[in-house]
Amino acid sequence: GYVRSFDNIVMRVMDGLMSIPTILLAIALISLTGPGIGILIVAITIPQMPSVTRLVRSVVLGVRERPYVEAALCGGARLPKVLWRHILPSTIPALMVQSANVCADAILTEAGLSFLGVGVPPEIPSWGNMIASSRLYLSIAPLTIFAPGICLAVTVLAVNLLGDGLRDLFDPRAKRRR
The whole-chain average pLDDT of the chain stands at 86
Cβ proximity of 74 and 91 under 8 Å: no
pLDDT given at position 99? 92
The structural domains of the chain, with segments of one domain joined by +, span 4-177
Q: Is the pTM of this model over 0.85?
A: no
Question: Residue 22 — φ and ψ, nearest 5°?
Answer: -60, -50
Alpha-carbon distance of 71 to 68, in angstroms, equals 5
Query: Residues 6 or more apart from 94 whose CB is under 8 A from it?
Result: 55, 56, 59, 170
Homologous superfamily, domain 4-177: MetI-like (1.10.3720.10)
pLDDT in tens, 21-60: 888 888 888 888 877 888 889 888 988 899 899 988 888 8
Report the b/e string of 62-80 with b at 16+ CB within 10 A: ebbeeeebeebeeeebeee
